[in-house]
C-alpha cells in the first residue's frame, strides 16, 4: 500500500463524512472531479499544495490527513494501527459507538 493510497482513503473518508460528492469537493478545490477520484484511489501523487487545498475545502487541519502516516505499510504485528485503519473506514456515528465500546472494555481490564 502506498502513501498516496493512504492519503486518498483519508480524503474519501472526510469527504463522505462531510456528505460531499467528488464533484462538490472538486468544485470547492477548483479541481477537475476526475482528479479527486484519482487522488482517492491513490492513482495520483498529489502535490502538498493540492493536498492543502483539499484539507481546506474539507475544513480539516492538514495534519489530520497525515496523522500516523509513517505507519502506512501493512504491518500484521502492528495491531493498534490495523484497528485504526478499520475504524477510519467506518462512518463517524459508528466510530463513536466503537469508542464507547473501547471505553467499556478498558474499564474492566
pLDDT, tens digit, for every residue of 32-71? Answer: 999 999 999 999 999 999 999 999 999 999 999 988 776 5
Q: Look up cell 462538490; give the residue.
A: 24
What is the pTM (predicted TM-score) of this model?
A: 0.69
Least Cα distance to 50 among 33, 22, 20, 30 occurs for 30
Structural domain boundaries in the chain: 1-73, 77-109
The CATH code that applies to domain 1-73 is 1.10.260.40
SS3 78: coil
Amino acid at each position: 500500500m502506498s502513501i498516496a493510497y493512504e492519503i486518498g482513503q483519508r480524503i474519501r473518508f472526510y469527504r463522505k463524512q462531510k456528505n460531499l460528492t467528488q464533484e462538490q469537493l472538486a468544485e470547492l478545490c477548483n479541481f477537475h472531479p476526475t482528479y479527486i477520484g484519482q487522488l482517492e484511489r491513490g492513482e495520483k501523487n498529489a502535490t502538498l499544495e493540492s493536498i492543502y487545498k483539499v484539507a481546506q475545502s474539507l475544513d480539516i487541519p492538514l495534519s489530520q490527513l497525515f496523522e500516523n502516516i509513517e505507519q502506512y505499510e501493512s504491518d500484521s504485528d502492528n495491531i493498534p494501527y490495523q484497528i485504526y485503519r478499520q475504524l477510519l473506514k467506518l462512518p463517524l456515528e459508528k466510530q463513536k459507538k466503537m469508542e464507547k465500546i473501547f471505553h467499556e472494555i478498558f474499564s474492566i481490564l
